[in-house]
Structure 1
Amino acid sequence: MVAMSGGVDSSLAAALLKEQGFEVMGATMRLWRPPADRREGGEEGRKNLPDPAEDARRAAETLAIPFYVFDFIQPFYERVVQYFIDEYKRGRTPNPCVVCNKRVKFDLFIEKARNLGAELVATGHYARLSYNEEEGRYLLLKAHDKKKDQTYFLYNLSQRQLQHILFPLGHYRKEETRRLAAAYGLEAANKPESQEICFIPGNDYKEFLRREGKAKEEPGPIYDTEGNLLGRHKGITNYTIGQRKGLGLALGKPVYVLEINPCTNSLVVGGEEDNSFHGLYAEKLNFIAGKAPEQVLEAGIKIRYNAAETKGLLYPVVDGRARVEFPQPLKAVTTGQSVVFYLGEEVLGGGIISKAIK
């Protein structure tokens, strides 16, 4: 069963697997109902809205494979959207794609696919899998195309899940993907990539949190690191750690959001020197091998998807938390974001940043 979004990557994944001799089915997850579709008369309004499943359905027809639509709207809201809202209200900056992969795409989707008789699930993620015979376990590896590598979003996968997963695009570069998709006659070959979170059109977080999260835009104080009042903010959900623009402060030098305190409805800002951190603590950890390293380990560290990987020391887990130290300070280490640990090409695991260390 291939998880098909209608984009070029998942469409080609289905085509490649069919050519390799697999009996392939496709399915789209319906995850989100736009607000206009929820109002009275929404059924009528839906006729004028693009159906994200239609592109996937046409790809399935081109490939002559069975196609399904899985309605995950309710669990997606409960497991992903509500998490996103709650984290922002806590003054943190969540990554909903990481949570969706953990709690929907590689949980509910696998369960639904297996109920329909599928033995394996495939996606269009740029990642690779390998099986280590000596250790008797699966390895999650970076894609060959390092610019498109998506293992950052997959660190929550378990050995139980990996035995049912295929990543057909792990050895391809994006330009090869488009060329092959065109050769297979797939309409999605030239479809532009979406850079948005699927449930936030236009990436307008502020409007989304106002509408869905009933976020109160209650103004509050902005302090410097010494506790001096510098100005007023427009509501804490409008800000993220490391933000520089839009603070409404004229101090003669750039300042950055260092802390968001929902209990006091306040922000703390500081200069360039205050926005650098020598380490972090991470919680809600997962290690692909099923167990955490027992010794201090020099690992590759990524604190954001688009951040460059840097070297760091990963310390053994204590009380459910891992400590990471950087030899050179990093900017804008953001609570709520994921940190992912690598050993060369291999993904060791990761967790949620709970605290930045000065």
Structure 2
Amino acid sequence: MNSLGIDKPAKDTRVVVAMSGGVDSSVVAGLMAREGYDVIGITLQLYDHGEAIHRKGACCAGQDIHDARRVAASLDIPHYVFDYESKFRESVIDDFADSYVRGETPIPCVKCNQTVKFQDLLEASRELNADVLVTGHYIQSRQSNGQYSLYRPLDHGRDQSYFLFATTQEQLDYLRFPLGGMTKDEVRDIARDMGLVVAEKSDSQDICFVPNGNYAQIIQKLRPEAIDPGEIVHLDGRVLGEHKGIIHFTIGQRRGLGISAGEPLYVVKLEPETKRVIVGPYEALATRSVKLKQVNWLGGMSLDEIEEMGPINIEAKVRSTRPPQPARLSVKNGEVEVELVGGEHGVSPGQACVFYADDSEDTQVLGGGWIAQAVSAAA
């Protein structure tokens, strides 16, 4: 059994590495090559990289493709660039725009993992007769009883489990995450030791297809109707002003509302049908539970069994930047609802709720779902 859990020698094990051009995936490619695997590097061209080639803080741009090529050459492994622009636009960018038009707050990085990377790229890896697809994500997977389970990484500061909740069991059994047991500092040290040209390269920060973080500009171009004006209305019914499109607002927003009031006001609801932005006090943002759709469950028992036995205790995250919090998951008529024991504020449809087994340092990821409705604590 080799280090990837495949029952044959490393030299006879074909590994596809998803190479973004950053330090993490480059180190993964280096580790696989150093262990003697039959490594193929693949980089995805996801959008018009010519426009973004000099923009810092974005992944998959032209400079990143160039860097991936240079790393592959230094490791003496074959490297290919796959043109997935049309797939990416359909699965990620169009979905991103449509979600904002519906008054939601989308997470395109999850959609990208869910579709282009772990669906299309995974299928391409199989067509190349690869035994596994390896990525530079900070998350752990372990095999037990013939299948793999997902766990939070050693470096909680780099934890990417929130963005990988939609990984299916079939995909998980084919994927490997060598960096899950390392810290970022250790990864950079390995990159320096290998002499990789990207060893000091900064991490990507922005959504790759959103120049300068201007979401509204992208959405306006794709969905011109999204900038239709409407009213800004207080929860008590008072009309406080007008806006230039609900795409300029997100649940929980306080600044930039364009209205004057004698109290701090926050966006508490977006109504795309009436084009109204509803505002109110901070207390109105309190959420006690979330109703989910498109749930991906990776736990031991099935959701049907949970429906029969009643609610179970879990830990849950409704934001990528927050640690898991105590919660209770219940299933009724096939619909999943998560009660947030300590409550939360400013939860928006379109975000994700990710499930964990407990709050230990080395906890299992049980899956998650997309938030269809945030139930007010006052309900």
- Which category describes the TM-score, using the shorter chain as reference length? over 0.9
**For 1:26-41, what aligned pairs fall within 5 Å after superposition?**
26-33=41-48
Unaligned 5+ segments in structure 2 are 1-15, 53-60
**For 1:1-358, what aligned pairs fall within 5 Å after superposition?**
1-33=16-48, 50-133=62-145, 136-289=146-299, 291-292=302-303, 294=306, 295-316=310-331, 318-344=332-358, 345-358=363-376
Distance 1:152 1:54 in 2: 29
Q: Secondary structure at the match of 2:291?
A: strand
Distance 1:52 1:184 in 2: 19
1:335 aligned partner, one-letter code: P
Q: Secondary structure at the match of 1:188?
A: coil
Distance 2:285 2:166 in 1: 28
1:126/1:148 contact within 8 Å kept: yes
Aligned length: 344
1:336/1:353 contact within 8 Å kept: yes
Decide which moves more: 155-164 or 176-185. 155-164
- How many Å apart are 1:244 and its aligned residue? 0.8
Unaligned 5+ segments in structure 1 are 38-48
Q: Secondary structure at the match of 2:178?
A: coil
Cα–Cα, structure 1 residues 35 and 182, in superposed 2: closer, same or farther, change >3 Å?
A: closer
2:150 aligned partner, one-letter code: L
2:38 aligned partner, one-letter code: E
Distance 1:217 1:296 in 2: 42
Distance 1:162 1:308 in 2: 23
- How many Å apart are 1:161 and its aligned residue? 1.0
2:49/2:62 contact within 8 Å kept: no
Q: Secondary structure at the match of 2:217?
A: helix
Using the size of structure 2 for normalisation, the TM-score is: 0.87
The Cα offsets for residues 316-345 of structure 1, whole Å up to 9 and x where unpaired, read as 2x3442111122221111110011010131
Cα–Cα, structure 1 residues 94 and 6, in superposed 2: closer, same or farther, change >3 Å?
A: same
Q: Cα RMSD (Å) of the superposition?
A: 1.7
Cα–Cα, structure 1 residues 85 and 320, in superposed 2: closer, same or farther, change >3 Å?
A: farther
Q: Secondary structure at the match of 2:371?
A: strand
- How many Å apart are 1:218 and its aligned residue? 2.0
2:47 aligned partner, one-letter code: W
Aligned to 1:40: none
1:18 aligned partner, one-letter code: A
Distance 1:34 1:187 in 2: 20
Q: Secondary structure at the match of 2:199?
A: helix
2:356 aligned partner, one-letter code: Y
2:102 aligned partner, one-letter code: R
Decide which moves more: 146-155 or 211-220. 211-220
2:234/2:280 contact within 8 Å kept: yes
Q: Secondary structure at the match of 2:39?
A: coil
2:162 aligned partner, one-letter code: Y
Percent identical pairs in the alignment equals: 39
Q: Secondary structure at the match of 2:254?
A: coil
The Cα offsets for residues 88-110 of structure 1, whole Å up to 9 and x where unpaired, read as 11111111111111111011101
- How many Å apart are 1:52 and its aligned residue? 3.1
